[in-house]
């Protein structure tokens, strides 16, 4: 895209995009680390995820400040305006994604089962993987103004929803058979729900990216969504 006549405008936009790329990278890493901590029962790593969330929150605040400054001083128009507004909305959503990852990490100490592995734990990493890839691609789509990649992210949301429904059924069955693990399994259920929400939020980011890139809203799609807890 051609440069602005006023160079400082381009510098502001570059800084904005840089901050969002960093924030997205951190959110993605938080999801992955939280899932690893869960699998390995690694309390140090889990604590690290919780601590690192502060930086994600700080970037959100920084982006908000910068967006207000850009609107006040540069009066962005057309695709610039859509980009800047998308940036503001995206950081709000990515901050929530960070919170979900933090929430998963906080549950890790509560799922420690003495000398015994909890079978359903093994179901979650691949679900987390899909969600974290969706976050990755949604933010890449923003960086590249790539509407097609944004659409691909939106389409993948059903994969996470299907995972959630399957994990839900498995956990219920497991709890019925192993009533002593109900407390741990309840936490796993919340973790699965958190991952499902991360997928929804990544989808929202992708929709914002699509609008910023094209000026059109994505046509409504059939939201199969996660079935209500049966």
Interface contacts to another protein, rule CB under 8 A:
1-6, 9, 74-82, 215-216
Q: What is the DSSP letter of 184?
A: H
Q: How far apart are the C-alpha atoms of 103 and 138, rounded to whole Å?
A: 22
Between 55 and 74, CB nearer to another protein:
74
Q: How far is the CB of 146 from another protein (least distance, A)?
A: 18
SS3 12: helix
Between 6 and 51, CB nearer to another protein:
6
Q: How far is the CB of 154 from another protein (least distance, A)?
A: 19
Question: Closest Cα to residue 151, out of 214, 89, 96?
Answer: 214
* In the block, residue with structure tokens 């407390």: 183
Q: How far is the CB of 142 from another protein (least distance, A)?
A: 18
Between 6 and 144, CB nearer to another protein:
6
Between 166 and 217, CB nearer to another protein:
217
Q: How far is the CB of 86 from another protein (least distance, A)?
A: 12
Write the DSSP assignment of 128-167 as a string of letters: HHHHHHHHHHHHHHHHHT-HHHHHHHHHHHHHHHHHHHHH
User: Residues with Cβ < 8 Å from 83, sequence gap 6 or more?
Assistant: 13, 76, 145, 212
Q: How far is the CB of 4 from another protein (least distance, A)?
A: 5
Contact between 168 and 61 under an 8 Å Cβ cutoff? The reply is: no
Contact between 192 and 125 under an 8 Å Cβ cutoff? The reply is: no
Between 8 and 112, CB nearer to another protein:
8
């Amino acid at each position: 895209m051609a440069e602005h006549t006023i160079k400082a405008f381009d510098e502001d936009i570059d800084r904005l995009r840089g901050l969002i790329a960093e924030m997205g990278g951190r959110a993605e890493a938080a999801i992955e680390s939280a899932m690893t901590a869960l699998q390995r029962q690694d309390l140090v790593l889990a604590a690290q995820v919780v601590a690192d969330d502060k930086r994600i929150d700080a970037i959100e605040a920084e982006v908000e400040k910068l967006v207000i400054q850009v609107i006040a001083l540069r009066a962005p128009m057309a695709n610039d305006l859509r980009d800047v507004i998308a940036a503001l909305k995206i950081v709000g959503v990515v901050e929530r994604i960070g919170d979900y990852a933090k929430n998963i990490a906080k549950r890790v100490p509560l799922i420690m089962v003495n000398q015994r592995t909890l079978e359903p734990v093994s179901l979650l990493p691949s679900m987390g993987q899909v969600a974290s890839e969706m976050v990755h691609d949604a933010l890449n789509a923003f960086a590249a103004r790539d509407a097609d990649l944004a659409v691909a992210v939106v389409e993948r949301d059903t994969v996470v929803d299907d995972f959630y429904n399957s994990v839900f059924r498995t956990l219920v069955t497991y709890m019925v058979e192993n009533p002593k693990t109900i407390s741990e399994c309840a936490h796993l259920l919340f973790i699965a729900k958190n991952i499902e929400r991360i997928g929804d939020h990544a989808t929202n980011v992708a929709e914002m990216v699509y609008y910023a890139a094209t000026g059109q809203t994505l046509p409504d799609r059939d939201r199969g969504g996660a079935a209500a807890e049966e």
